[in-house]
Structure 1
Amino acid sequence: MSDIRVRRGPLRRTALAAGALLLAAGAALASDSHPARASAPAPEPGWTTVFLDDFDGPAGTGVDTADWQYTTGTSYPGGPARFGTGEIETMTSSTANVSLDGAGHLRITPQRDGAGNWTSGRVETRRSDFQPPAGGTLRVEARIQMPDVTGPAAKGYWPAFWMLGAPYRGNWWNWPGIGELDILENVQGINQVWATMHCGTSPGGPCNETSGIGGSRVCAPVSCQAGFHTYAVEWDRGTSPQEMRFLLDGAVFHTVRETQVPASTWAEATGHGYFLILNVAMGGGFPDAFGGGPDAGTVPGHPMVVDYVTVLQRGGTTTPPPTTPTTPPPGGTRDAYAAVQAETYDGQSGLATEATGDTGGGRNIAAVANGDWALYRGVDFGGTPATQFLGRVASGAAGGVSGLVEVRIDSRTSAPVGSFSVAGTGGWQSWRTVPANISAVTGVHDVYLTFASGQPADFVNLNWFTFGH
């Protein structure tokens, strides 16, 4: 492998020498190159499904915007031009670029107009909290057929299935420190998949940026372009050292271990959740390393076809308090020292509830803004004073938007006994537990949670809260 470094910003790519194109060409991999399935396979024993999209829906419709969001234009707002990679297309939400085909597939299709301008598609999961449980493993997998175009007609094509660290959202300039996991990348219609972890600093740094720590494998016996294959990463927190394992058709072909980089670099890249991305770029740094493009000979209209995307987890432990709903015991009291599920309020103003992506499932309260409140009757603090309050919160609020979660006893207008502030956590399902000190409380009380902000915008979701000594 030569050390061809590609100049680019957030995103990717291991630039390999042409000789590496033959790496593992003779390897006999078990191919998954059958026609696309109607649905994803059932999880193997020990694995549970965290997220799944089979892309079922009428032909000519877009993605389910409850799960996915479109990224459009030529950059993130305020972020690096051309997504930091030099790609030349404009991303759109048009069904000419992103659509279901009615047979259980998502198609992301680059198009070129009469003036030579390219458009394509890029979709990202709304959730940005995908990470393994403590001591467990997360598996992110998709079954994909790369654009079925090769040779000069494929010049400039750059399909990808990848993940970015949640702190990138709303910042756009903290790459590569926040981490990037490229599960599938391909250029120029070459029969090869590249997988890369990006981290550290750029250029250079402990992760060899902008190339990253990468590996590659040929698709066999059917090429990446001619058939479907499964592409996956397993983020394993249950082994020592921790690992990122990249797989093609179930076989590991590239591994990055935490001992390969400084501990602080690994912690910065893995101490948070990630969101998933599917896109087909045209041109940019990675294609430039293999001949450039696109040009007049490039043929538009060849889609990356996605059969399913699934996220699974295995093993690990969850940290208390538990996320199962608490049931008030006889007499209507709640245990202050068990998790009180936020959606089990006895009264509220301004709140909504939604299914939560937090560990344990259930629901959370959402759309929380200035002046909203929730009432929880009969909370029993016992005879030993409670001096701490903990809330499980998430926020996708824009920069500059923040607020307070306040605890009041017996009256919504009484002075707060404690509070903590919340700003953006990286997404409305990017959860963290925030502690606060409170004035000592004993006995049985009605607890009001009130929410205060200097802006009218929603600023927090709340899954559960509890108290401590």
Structure 2
Amino acid sequence: MARPRLLRRCLLTALSAVLAGSAMVATPAHADSPHVSSSEVSATATFSDTFDGPAGAPVDSTKWRLETGDNVNNHERQYYTSSTRNAALDGQGHLVITARRENPANYQCWYGTCQYTSARLNTSGKFAAQYGHVEARMKIPRGQGMWPAFWMLGNDFGYEPGKVPWPDAGEIDIMENVGYEPSTIHGTIHGPGYSGTGGIGAAYTLPGGRAFADDFHTFAIDWAPDSITWSVDGVVYQRRTPADLGGKKWVFNKPFFLILNLAVGGDWPGDPNGSTQFPAQLVVDSVSVTTSNAPTGRPIRGLAGKCVDVAGANPANGTPVQLYDCNGTAAQQWTFAPDGSLRALGKCLDVKDHGTADGSPVQLWDCSGNPNQKWVLSSGHDIVNPQANKCLDVTENNPANGTRLQIWTCTGGANQKWTVG
């Protein structure tokens, strides 16, 4: 569960008033394979911004709107402005959101005269998504009191008639960081009965004591009906479904819009101190939302009309993947993710021990981005692991429930043919 914090409810009257990628290109099988006729399984980018433009230019106003004002709900210290001093392109393909210790226009905040300025952008009224792969590649700032975030609000959010207030409208925090935890980010959902400090989520910590501010990282969710899966640099660290809510309402099967911001201070991160350096910058390389044109979150049917199945619906690492009667459960709902992986239960279809030999079994494992977790759906209905140049195969052509799946030299046999959906 994410570190406690107060409401992330929208701070601005202005926002309430206006509320009325990396594409997946599947790797072809080796050209010398006579059995695999590969086709690209690509993604449709429903939203993409790579922030190209001259240094000092504002963000694309057809994609983003800038919010202005302060935020009493979280007791943040900044005043969000629409100035390019706080949000501008750097001329090198980045958006730079800059927090400054200044008050050039005598801005007034909830605590008196504002001490800081920064920026918050959203796509409300311009773009909203329902399901898909949502990601941002960013380098976050360091320093006590810094609070960068990439998140989403339900598109029906608002406080005027006909709108849904926070938290009932739903919030998906794809990435939040508080400056006193330089190696850790948080992913959280908020909704009716599980908001603020009761939000449901998890943390991800970089190995080896590395800080997120040292380099760019990709923060993402894979979002499908009744499930949201979080990852950092392709490594999955949590999955949430209605089963995690203890009977409370799941409010995430509808459109949401995107938000990027850099807050200064607040109840969760605490205020800046003498060690905090300004200006502080959140550098955003790209933001994208993609939906695969391969079916997502669907069964994969093969020999005797049976399905690719995670044994016992067990999400533990090393769980066998098998053939079983199709039953519509989550253990048989597979997603072709934009990184080329094939996912179910928040984990990846994995060739055990990085095997490339005929008969290497497949299993469920934490997503790592390694070649033994890459798959191509070919035009010939093969599912191919390009590293081994071999096909997903039903062992010994046996249609019985529980038959283990493996990789094998592609033969064109019925035990290697798969239909998605």
Q: What TM-score do you get using the length of structure 2 for normalisation?
A: 0.57
For 1:254, the aligned partner's letter is: Q
SS in 2 for 1:158: strand
Mapped contact 1:11–1:85 kept (Cα < 8 A):
no
Mapped contact 1:129–1:272 kept (Cα < 8 A):
no
Partner of 1:228: 216
SS in 2 for 1:284: coil
Distance 2:252 2:164 in 1: 17
Mapped contact 1:144–1:230 kept (Cα < 8 A):
yes
Q: 1:185–1:9: structure 2 CA closer, same or farther, 3 Å change rule?
A: closer
Q: Which of 185, 191, 200 pairs up with 2:183?
A: 191
Distance 2:3 2:206 in 1: 23
1:170-185 matches, cutoff 5 A: 171=160, 174-185=165-176
Q: 1:116: how far off?
A: 7.2
Structure 1 position 142 matched with structure 2 position 136: yes
The structure carrying a bigger strand percent of its residues is 1
1:1-16 matches, cutoff 5 A: 5-10=4-9
Mapped contact 1:11–1:180 kept (Cα < 8 A):
no
Unaligned runs of 5+ in 2: 12-20, 26-40, 104-112, 297-421
For 1:60, the aligned partner's letter is: G
Larger radius of gyration: 1
Query: How many residues get paired?
Result: 257
1:158-173 matches, cutoff 5 A: 158-169=147-158, 171=160
Partner of 1:56: 52
Q: Which of 118, 122, 125 pairs up with 1:124?
A: 122
Mapped contact 1:9–1:83 kept (Cα < 8 A):
no
1:3-402 matches, cutoff 5 A: 5-10=4-9, 41-44=22-25, 45-74=41-70, 82=71, 84-113=73-102, 117-126=115-124, 127-132=126-131, 138-147=132-141, 149=142, 154-169=143-158, 171=160, 174-189=165-180, 190-200=182-192, 205=193, 207=194, 209-220=196-207, 222-237=210-225, 242-261=226-245, 265-266=249-250, 269-287=251-269, 292-314=270-292, 315=294
Unaligned runs of 5+ in 1: 13-39, 75-81, 133-137, 318-469
For 1:164, the aligned partner's letter is: L
Q: What TM-score do you get using the length of structure 1 for normalisation?
A: 0.51
Distance 1:183 1:4 in 2: 14
SS in 1 for 2:48: strand
Distance 1:69 1:246 in 2: 26
Q: 1:195: how far off?
A: 0.5
How large is the RMSD of aligned CA atoms in angstroms?
2.6
For 1:223, the aligned partner's letter is: A
1:444-459 matches, cutoff 5 A: none
Q: 1:53: how far off?
A: 0.2
Cα shift readout 1:12-71 (whole Å, capped 9, x = no counterpart):
9xxxxxxxxxxxxxxxxxxxxxxxxxxx54433343211100000000111000010000
How much identity, in percent, do the aligned residues show? 36
Distance 1:47 1:299 in 2: 40
Cα shift readout 1:278-316 (whole Å, capped 9, x = no counterpart):
0000111221xxxx2123442211201000000011355
Distance 2:93 2:167 in 1: 34
Q: 1:285–1:11: structure 2 CA closer, same or farther, 3 Å change rule?
A: farther
